[in-house]
Structure 1
């Protein structure tokens, strides 16, 4: 007769359960491979480990970076989660800067800053230097070929004389620029054109209210004068200001001032042969 099964007292694990898969256990026969009470062993489930940092790209001064936060199972080492985190740009760390181009009275300067982290540079404009003038200070202006004297700080100047005494034509402007300040040209100095033997034509700007003694004295070739200003008075025109200019000279004045200017200029040395229109 058959012997019959001789069963073990305890279960035998036929397949171990893993983090994700179920296992199997059963009671075996001691004599053969027969099994009974086959039972499923539940999956164990993953065991989360600590967060690890991977694929880190460091931020720079101008560009952001990123890194991955990754969690693995401590049992089977399977990746359980991955989260990419973006980081912001660090921003430049500028030093105190260095003046690379000194400002002048005519030109702006440049200050250069360097990033202590990456070596990048940036620049900023340094304003032109302000002219530090006091009343009586003189300024040589190449663009108008003239020397000026400060009469009211940051407001008014006097036309002293031309730089080139051999000039044939001259213009006394209504205003000039000194540094960052605009000055009105309000007067013509004493003897301003006295030695300008070749001067034949001159234009007097509309801000002139005073003409000095002998300003145009003995300018024998001076034939053409244009006066734009309406601010002149007898007291403000110096002695012999127009004496001994060319007898055939023609003077153009504002229409509203023709009559009064003719009287004034004649009293200040202008020849009666000079025409005023």
Structure 2
């Protein structure tokens, strides 16, 4: 009997098995395996762990615009997995303080801030020779929308050519002598329902055209008639 010794395993090259890809948030792994090239027996197996890749965020996009009173939101998106994250955007810095004035060419008027980032007063028209005017319900200054809630005292006092005025719904106050001596003012349209005797100044409608026609909200006809007459409107004027 002749004994033939074992040849011994012959190690082959490393092979990669059981691969789990790492993601943006989680690590992965793989096995390094060596087999015998003669009999195919597994000689060794080593598990290698890999680190998470980490998110690759884009430059972000404003998804909620900041205002002068509220913060905004910027949203970032991972370019690999699509996950999103958000961060707050600071409120805008206040540009106009109480008392600041602003010329608005669109409405041909000068306004004064009475509540920061919220309310303004119609001071006077830029062009005093205008024939028609509208007190708008709101105006935009920069990125802020302001409600026009008041008409200043003496606002149209020097507007000798004024024949028609429209007062929109947000106006709740009219200053003293706002339309004083506007003798050609024949047509007035009041859309606001917020006026009271205390909020309409003395002589606000004194010395306007005696045969003026004033259109008011139906529900306010009776009370507005008393207010306007007490504030200088001629009793000959027609209110409808």
Whether these two folds match at TM > 0.5 is yes
Residue 241 of structure 1 contacts residue 268 of structure 1 at CA under 8 Å; is this kept in 2? yes
Deviations 1:30-60, CA, capped at 9 Å, x for gaps: xxxxxxxxxxxxxxxxxxxxxxxxxxxxxxx
Residue 203, structure 1, aligned to residue 161, structure 2: no
Gaps of 5+ in 2: 1-91
Partner Cα distance (2:234, 2:219) in 1: 22
* Structure 1 residue corresponding to 2:233, chosen from 247, 270, 277: 270
The residue that corresponds to 1:179 in the other structure is 142
CA contact (8 A) 1:154 1:181 kept: yes
- 1:208 and 1:130 mapped to 2: Cα distance? 27
For 1:156-180, what per-residue CA distance to the aligned partner results, in whole angstroms no more than 9, with x for missing partners? 0000000000000000000010111
Q: CA deviation at 1:132?
A: 1.0
SS at match of 1:272: coil
Name the counterpart of 1:30: none
TM-score (norm 1): 0.55
Superposed CA RMSD in Å reads 5.1
CA contact (8 A) 1:145 1:163 kept: yes
Show the counterpart of 1:257.
220
Shift of 1:130: 5.9
For residue 189 of structure 1, what is the aligned residue in structure 2?
Answer: 152
What pairs up with 1:88-127 in 2 under 5 angstroms?
none
Q: Which residue of 1 aligns with 2:117?
A: 154
Of the candidates 218, 221, 245, which is equivalent to residue 208 of structure 2? 245
Over 4 Å off, 4+ runs: none
- Rounded to whole Å, the distance in 2 between the matches of 1:191 and 1:130 is 32
Count of residues in correspondence between the two structures? 225
Superimposed CA distance per residue, residues 218-264 of structure 1 (whole angstroms, 9 cap, x where no aligned partner): 00000000000000000000000000000111000000000000001
**1:143 aligned to 100, 106, 113, which one?**
106
Give the Cα–Cα distance (whole angstroms) in 1 for the partners of residues 203 and 211 of structure 2.
17
Q: Partner of 1:235 in structure 2?
A: 198
Distance 1:144 1:216 in 2: 18
Query: Separation in 1 of the partners of 2:93 and 2:106?
Result: 19
Q: CA deviation at 1:271?
A: 0.4
| Aligned: 1:221 with 2:184 | yes
Distance 1:263 1:228 in 2: 17
User: Equivalences for 1:10-21 in 2 at 5 Å?
Assistant: none
Structure 1 residues 261, 214: CA separation in 2 closer, same or farther (over 3 Å shift)?
Answer: same
Give the whole-Å Cα distance in 1 for the aligned partners of 2:123 and 2:235.
27
Normalising by structure 2, we get a TM-score of 0.63
Name the SS for the 1:258 alignment partner.
helix
